[in-house]
Structure 1
Amino acid sequence: MMPPRQGWEALQERLLFLPPLPEQLDPLALFALLLVAGLLVGETLFRRFGLSRIVGYVLAGAVAGPGVLGWLDRETVALAKPVADAALGLLLLETGRHLDLRWLNANRSLLASALAESGLAFVSIFTFALLAVGLSPGWSAATAAITMASAPAVVLLTAQENRAQGQVTQRTLLLTAISCALSFVVFALVLGVVHAEQAGDWLNAIVHPLWVVCGSAGIGLACARLALAIAARQAKGSAAQVFILVAVALLAIGVARMLAVPVFLSLFMMGAALNLADQTKVLAYTRLPEGHWTLAIVLFVVTGAMLPLDKLSWLTGLQAIGLIVVRGLAKFAGVVLTGRNDLPAAKRRLVGVGIQPLSATAIFMGAELAAIYPEVSGQALLLPLLAAALMELAGPQLCRYAFKQAGETEPPPEPRR
């Protein structure tokens, strides 16, 4: 670098506006290059090897992140996290819109399947973390709350990526939405348990969960009503309605961040409120544009960079694999043993495979908990975060396998020449 540096310094003597030669690439430029790399890796894996694009995005972030090569340091990842928050929020908004409470009331077997697979997953993970790993009851409950749900962003994007439609796809999306809602309720309760265990602070143990639940519900309901009120004056399915939906979602994200309420929970609540309150189908046929795949790239690259791969050892790796196996069997059994009246056994088994993904939501739940007690949470949350790291790679493939085996996917369009 000496000749270029000397040449640059010589130019600086004549051109006063030139800045000093940078010691390293600007973090924003580096992050932009990483997003491009993630896109290229994802497309290559999808078109040549039949793997999910999401795997490529996560791999790019994980390799370049602090846990491996360190091209992205923790400060750069922290700067990118608000964008990833927005991406996850918008995807959870769509997940919440799949949560039709009226239909659930009519279809009790679906609700039974969701309660069975989520309940079995929580109990199994809690028992494993408490007895096999040796975590305290509070952090065992936190581990179970973080990892009990399926990954709504992965399931939704995998279905869109493969243009999947059918009974297995629809049941997987619905069970994911319900288990996500249940895990959010459990997550709020676990916040109180962690406060009580770590600090013996019963005021925070009671008020903090209420603040999270009521704040998220209030933000979600208010923003849903605002979006419906404005969108009702526009043509149905128009670009104006899409713009209103995204703009109000961003408003919800901003308010949630100001009030220290989880963004992912607020946007999920907004989606569920839209589904429930949209009696005249104002926004029922309005979907996020294809551009939300751009947000997905940001989300999974940042998620990959947040994974604590530098703390992975043979022992923690075995514990994470054990958690994945226990969780997977519980969720699979919960689906297979219920819903016999409205879905054949073969399709129930495929749904049990399709709901396995665990990723971004777990990472962001862990970040919320880590912000409360950073001195303890680093080690206590290592198990669920490492499990999420492994399932970032395996989960999308399991979901895609289920949709494909059900015969509900379409081949990708031929690239333009």
Structure 2
Amino acid sequence: MSTGLRQGWEALQDSLIFLPPFPDQLDPLVLFSLLLVGGLIVGETLFRTLGLSRIVGYVLAGAISGPGALGWLDRETIALAKPLADTALGLLLMETGRHLDLRWLSANRGLLVSAAAESALAFLTIFIFALLAVGLSPGWSAATAAITMASAPAVVLLTAEENRAQGQVTQRTLLLTAISCALSFVVFAVVLGLLHAEQAGDWLNAIAHPLWVVGGGILIGLLCARLALIIAGRQARGSVARVFVLVATALMAIGMARMLAVPVFLTLFMMGAALNLADRDRTLAYTGLPQGHWILAILLFVVTGAMLPLGELDWTTGVQALGLILMRGLAKFVGVVSTGRHDLPLDKRRLVGIGIQPLSATAIFMAAELATLYPEVSSQPLLLPLIAAAMMEFVGPQLCKRALQRAGETEPTRPEPAR
């Protein structure tokens, strides 16, 4: 049939000179668009029929279509889509950063202690596991720990919104996720230096690169946050123009970060935190991307699902990744439960310890940043955190959802009307 279509098309070209050559395959943009629609359908179907998080469906659609499974999307197409996913993650992390109220945290030291305890315990536990049980070098063990120590802020934020969750457990989970995300970015920058020193003995870059990453992210975030507040302050309160200003300046920050080789996820998180800190007149305090969140989520999690290295999964790596997940989960749970006794009852601390478990997109993009530094050696060391992230893409959203439901802070799911 394809041969007949080609012959008919070529016959038409003799008369219609404007016709392009017969397409041998679908345009990558068409394939990617079909995948996004498929991800939406799978996510909604799983949510409405099985009560699973929509995020699980988005990731599943991407994973099935990616090079590790059916191969409908090849690595070149994924590479073209990655900047879009990078942008989606950055915008979601900006929203996470806006939940990081530094003034409130300075008056609530117990929350800072909990965040520091669970992050430090998770890093040390993962580092020791990767070094002793897996046999990675100290530098790559630290990289594995830096990538996987933090919770997935986009997953937690979207899960809370999906279930319309409000309450102490929800707020504590969001705040701890934001703080641990900030701490992981600092550790990630330090690890960049360790890898330079271990792999190349380059002490100049070992010192300069972390400073460039952190300093660049903070500077771009501050500048774009200040610009957003200045322009938005001249627009009508509650107007769409303020939403436009917020998105436009965020895109500017993304572009500047890409130009200066600064991680987008770090820059946009810093911009969100700066908006929260500097917005004393509450100019953008009630301006957000409510429906835009889910457009970004479909894009982000479908692409990250396709990026997962499922084709490289073997029994050894799978068992090691499972061990990493269990050690990480226990460390984060103990870190939360053992602190904050005066701020939250034990039963609620346990639920928070479960709610902060997700690990996904941020880890995958951190791994991608490291892979660009030393591509000749990073594929195998980074396979462990990537496989762990792949497993938690499916489990993490459900754990977070379950914790919020057990806390009684979610709205009951309404049954679909009969058709």
Q: TM-score, normalised by structure 2?
A: 0.98
CA shift at 1:294, angstroms?
A: 1.0
Counterpart of 2:135, as a letter, is G
Q: CA deviation at 1:239?
A: 1.0
How many Å separate the matches in 2 of 1:44 and 1:224?
Answer: 38
* Partner in structure 1 of residue 310 of structure 2: 309
> Which residue of structure 1 aligns with residue 268 of structure 2?
267
2:330 corresponding residue in structure 1: 329
| AA at the equivalent of 1:270 | M
- Alpha-carbon distance in 1 for matches of 2:102, 2:414: 35
- Given the alignment of the two structures, is residue 57 of structure 1 paired with residue 40 of structure 2, yes or no? no
Q: Percent identity over the alignment?
A: 78
Partner Cα separation in structure 1 for residue 312 and residue 51 of structure 2: 30
Separation in structure 1 between the aligned mates of residue 357 and residue 242 of structure 2, nearest angstrom: 33
1:19 is displaced (CA, Å) by: 1.7
The CA deviation at 1:237 is 2.6
Report the equivalent of 2:404: 403
User: Deviation of residue 28 (structure 1)?
Assistant: 0.7
Can you list the C-alpha shifts for 1:394-416, whole angstroms capped at 9, x where unaligned?
00000000011111111345667
Q: Tell me what 2:115 maps to.
A: 114
Question: Which shifted more, 234-243 or 127-136?
Answer: 234-243
**Cross-structure match for 1:161:** 162
Tell me how far 1:3 sits from its aligned partner.
2.1
Question: Distance between the aligned counterparts of 1:16 and 1:246, measured in 2?
Answer: 43
Q: For 2:76, give the aligned amino acid.
A: E
Q: Which residue of 1 aligns with 2:230?
A: 229
Write the distance in 1 (CA, Å) between the matches of 2:238 and 2:128.
Answer: 48
Unaligned runs of 5+ in 1: none
Unaligned runs of 5+ in 2: none
User: In structure 2, what is the Cα distance between the partners aligned to 1:413 and 1:30?
Assistant: 34
CA distance in structure 2 between the aligned counterparts of 1:414 and 1:35, rounded to whole angstroms: 25
Deviation sequence 1:69-122 (CA, Å, 0-9, x none): 111111111111111111000000000011111111111111111011000000
CA contact (8 A) 1:242 1:289 kept: no
Instruction: With the length of structure 1 as denominator, give the TM-score of the two structures.
Output: 0.98
Give the CA deviation at 1:274. Answer: 0.7
1:295 matched to which residue of 2? 296
For 2:382 and 2:415, locate their aligned partners in 1 and report how far apart those are by CA, in whole Å. 43
Question: Equivalent residue for 1:180?
Answer: 181
CA contact (8 A) 2:100 2:178 kept: yes
Write the letter of the residue equivalent to 1:346: D
2:12 equivalent in structure 1: 11
Measure the CA separation in 2 of the matches of 1:378 and 1:257.
23
Q: 2 CA distance for matches of 1:235 and 1:260?
A: 36
- 2-side partners of 1:415 and 1:50: how far apart? 12
Amino acid at match of 1:56: G
What per-residue deviation string (whole Å, max 9, x for no partner) do you get for residues 323-370 of structure 1?
A: 000000000000011111111111110000000000000000000000
Which residue identity does 2:194 align to in structure 1? V
CA distance in 1, matches of 2:223, 2:284: 16
Cα RMSD of the aligned pairs, angstroms, is 1.0
Residues 158, 293 of structure 2: 8 Å contact kept: no
Equivalent in the alignment of 1:71: 72
Count residues with an aligned counterpart: 417
CA distance in 2, matches of 1:289, 1:178: 22
Residue 281 of structure 1 is matched in structure 2 by 282
* Cα distance between partner residues in 1 of 2:246 and 2:9: 49
Question: For residues 130-209 of structure 1, what are the structure 2 equivalents within 5 Å?
Answer: 130-209=131-210
The answer to whether the 8 A contact 1:35-1:301 is kept is yes
| 2-structure distance, mates of 1:238, 1:415 | 33
TM-superposed deviation, 1:34: 0.4
4+ aligned runs moved over 4 Å, structure 1: 412-417
Work out whether residues 236 and 286 of structure 1, in 8 Å CA contact, stay in contact via their aligned partners in 2. no
